[in-house]
Amino acid sequence: MRLLGWRHAHRLQPPPGRVRSGPPGPPPRDGYLEEIVAAFEDPSVGCVTHPVAGLGEKTFGSLLDNLHLSSSAAAGMIAAKHVADRDIVVGKSMALGGFFSVKDVLAEDYVIGQWVTRKLGKRVVLAHTPVFNVSLRKSVDAFFQRYLRWSVIHRTAVSPSTYVAQALLNPVPLAALGALIHPSALTGLAALAVALGKVWVDVAVFRALRPRPVTWRAAPAVLVSGSPATGWGERRWPNF
């Protein structure tokens, strides 16, 4: 808070207990607060958020969780900002004022990202420094339970067409379906190529965002974490 100063201290929402701004170990000089302060020196900036990567896995369920955060959530934030100029704010780390106005909103981070530009006329800055969500011993079932619940939020926050289009983010099931409908050596090789490409891209992103090496277990985890089961949440959790 002393680094932020009183002028910016009220803007900071500290990350949740399982989120940190650097890898486990002694407190690092990772530039987390410095980057926030520098961004708010520009008066046109209304919010600073960070891409979220996962680390610390000791079980396969936590590996799924950390992989999905890094290769899907964090990569999506970065791509949306730099490719489509769309702001996605993640509540695990965001700095701004006015939290009370969204105290009764479920997806408050998403709403904040919309309000900053539409109501305040200011910019959202996506910081270069990632924050790390530490998941250690989550079970595979707990992983799917979490993202099934997330799908409920997605279904209510975006248009039906956008929700359905999210299936294109994981082309492996579609490629496999195509190979089953029209079985041949060519469609089989195409489906295999799509699966290998998906694994390569996700593992590369996972490795780029983390300070620690990625083990071979991440390869099969890509196919499990992208299972279509994560999109069926509205059937099991109609209400919270």
pLDDT-above-90 percentage for the chain: 13
Helix axes 185-209, 172-181, angle to 10 degrees: 170
Residue 30's pLDDT is what?
Answer: 59
Which tokens belong to 19? 């989120």
- Across the range 25-33, mean pLDDT stands at 62
Residues of the chain with pLDDT > 70, as a percent, come to 78
Question: Residue 52: helix, strand or coil by DSSP?
Answer: strand
Calpha distance 22→20 (Å, rounded):
6
Which two tokens mark 99? 């939290």
Least reliable range by pLDDT among 50-64, 67-81, 101-115? 101-115
pLDDT at 228 over 80: no
Among candidates 144, 157, 130, 150, which has minimal Cα distance to 15? Answer: 130
Q: With beta carbons less than 8 A apart as the criterion, state whether 134 and 211 touch.
A: no
CB of 39 closer than 8 Å to CB of 33 = no
Amino acid at 30: D
Question: pTM above 0.85?
Answer: no
Structure confidence at residue 177 as a pLDDT band (50, 70, 90): very high
* Rounded Cα distance, 42 and 45, in Å: 6
Per-residue pLDDT tens over the stretch 182-226: 999 999 999 999 999 999 999 999 988 887 778 777 888 888 876
Residue 151 scores a pLDDT above 90: no
Compare 35 and 99 and report the one with higher pLDDT: 35
Mean pLDDT lowest among 33-42, 49-58, 123-132, 153-162: 153-162
